[in-house]
Amino acid sequence: MIKKTIVPLTLIALLAACGDTDEDTQPNESEQGEDSNSSDSYTVTDDRGVEVTFDEKPTTIVSLIPSNTEIIFALGEGENVVGVTDTDVYPEEVADIEVVASFEDINIERLLELDPDVIIGYTYSGGDQMAPLEDVGLPVFAIDSATSFSDVFDDIDRIAEVLHVEDSAQPLIERIQAQLDEVADIVSEVDEKQIYFEISPSPELFTPGSETFQHEIIEAAGLENVFSDLADWAGISEEQVIERNPELIATTVHYVDDSVEEIKQRSGWDSIDAVINDDVYLLSADIMDRPGPRIGEAVQELAETAYPNLFE
């Protein structure tokens, strides 16, 4: 089992933000390969070290994190999803699936009624939020929130194992990697711009530091993160942003009125190069903030924003 850094609990609501959607990353039937439908039991170990045994391939699935919902659909198993969260927005089919959880609450009573074959759950901040579900006999497979592209690929592999569609994982990973490689070629010779990436607005600013998948998105897009010296998702001050004077500012905050204008109007920020040159942008939150199968799209969106002439 691959050990992953766990995202701080205080940031999960931020990273569950919803925004615009883009192309579907789901494989078509010809791409899925010949997955095994054997009724033989099999066991997969989750990120808590818990061995979860399945007597047969799950046909009813609940997902409690939007990024994993996207993985399930991208693996071609979306038609078996019977429950999602209130922050699931992609793909569009999730609009027709019953909401069984929010960030604050999981409807255990309804889950017992649905009686799913598996609940793709989560762990955060070192705790076991899935224990109450297991206490009432619900089948849970828990996954740490991904903090790198490697983690995302690992999640795809293991969710494919859980759903017994192992042959669908590698083609999906290869498509994502191909998109990452394509962008890497385009930005390979750029003079890297410095960027400040905002995921929580004033007065409590948060930004991705190193050891986050969003930092990896920034680097893969040919940019330099002005807060790369900080670890994980970090709280910062407005003065720190002013001092570091980024050439580009990107935000995924969609829950305030005109977030771009709000940034430009902050006291003292009119001295920042990004504000002076009108290089402040609102990006798609549900693409940029979710460590799922659309990380290739996230890298491309950010690269196109920073270097539009390269993508004409």
Residue 293: C-alpha distances to residues 14, 75, 154 (Å): 19, 10, 11
Question: Does the structure show a pLDDT above 70 at 3?
Answer: no
Indicate the residue type of 24. Answer: D
Mean pLDDT of the chain: 89
Q: Given this model, what pLDDT does residue 157 score?
A: 97
Question: Does the structure show a pLDDT above 90 at 28?
Answer: no
Q: Given this model, what pLDDT does residue 104 score?
A: 81
- d(C-alpha 150, C-alpha 164), whole Å: 21
List, for residues 212-246, the tens digit of each pLDDT value. 999 999 999 999 999 999 999 999 999 999 999 99
Rounded to an integer, the average pLDDT of 174-194 is: 97
Q: Given this model, what pLDDT does residue 312 score?
A: 87
User: Any residues with CB less than 8 A from the CB of 140 and at least 6 apart, and which?
Assistant: 46, 52, 118, 119, 121, 130, 133, 134
Q: Given this model, what pLDDT does residue 126 score?
A: 56
- Whether 231 and 211 have beta carbons less than 8 Å apart is answered as yes
Rounded to an integer, the average pLDDT of 143-147 is: 91
Which residue ranges form the domains of the chain, and what is each CATH number? 36-178 (3.40.50.1980), 188-311 (3.40.50.1980)
Rounded to an integer, the average pLDDT of 300-309 is: 98
Instruction: Provide the 10 A C-beta neighbour count for residue 129.
Output: 16
Instruction: Provide the 10 A C-beta neighbour count for residue 186.
Output: 17
Residue-wise burial string across 61-84, b where 16 or more C-beta atoms lie within 10 A, e elsewhere: bbbbbbbbbbbbbbbbbbebbbbb
Sorting pLDDT into bands at 50, 70 and 90, what band is 15?
A: low
Rounded to an integer, the average pLDDT of 142-156 is: 95
List, for residues 63-93, the tens digit of each pLDDT value. 999 999 999 999 999 999 999 999 999 999 9
Give the range among 22-31, 187-196, 255-264, 282-291 with minimum mean pLDDT: 22-31
Q: Given this model, what pLDDT does residue 39 score?
A: 54
**Percentage of the chain surpassing pLDDT 90?**
81
Ordered DSSP codes for 17-34: ------------GGGS--
Strands 81-85, 233-236: pairing is unpaired
Q: Which has the closest alpha carbon to 173: 67, 79, 71, 35?
A: 71
